[in-house]
Amino acid sequence: MIEAEEFRDAGDRVVIPIWFGGRARHTGLDVEFQVTHLCTYREGKLLRDEIYPTKAEALEAAGLRE
């Protein structure tokens, strides 16, 4: 499972927290974790994709707060 939690507008950037989940192949355990992408666009094209371990860090990098 890969699921975007939200898309938060930050001008020429978008903050996108993404959840990943599934079952570990070797152990059979359920796993779930989140990372947050901070995507920068220019002229409608993706210029840069930065990945942060927490939503708060990505929001801070974009100059936003929760």
**Residue 55: pLDDT over 90:** yes
Which residue range is the domain that position 32 belongs to?
Answer: 2-61
pLDDT(62) > 90? yes
Cα separation, 46 vs 24, in Å, equals 31
- Whole-number pLDDT of residue 18: 98
Q: How many helices (H) and strands (E) are present in the chain, helices listed first? A: 1, 5
Q: Is residue 19 part of a domain?
A: yes
| Mean pLDDT across the chain | 95
Query: 46 with 39: CB under 8 angstroms?
Result: yes
Q: Is residue 66 part of a domain?
A: no
User: For residues 61 and 41, is the Cβ–Cβ distance under 8 A?
Assistant: no
Q: Do 52 and 9 meet the contact criterion of CB atoms below 8 Å apart? A: no
The answer to whether position 42 is within a domain reads: yes
What CATH code is carried by the domain that includes residue 15? 3.10.450.50
Domain total of the chain: 1
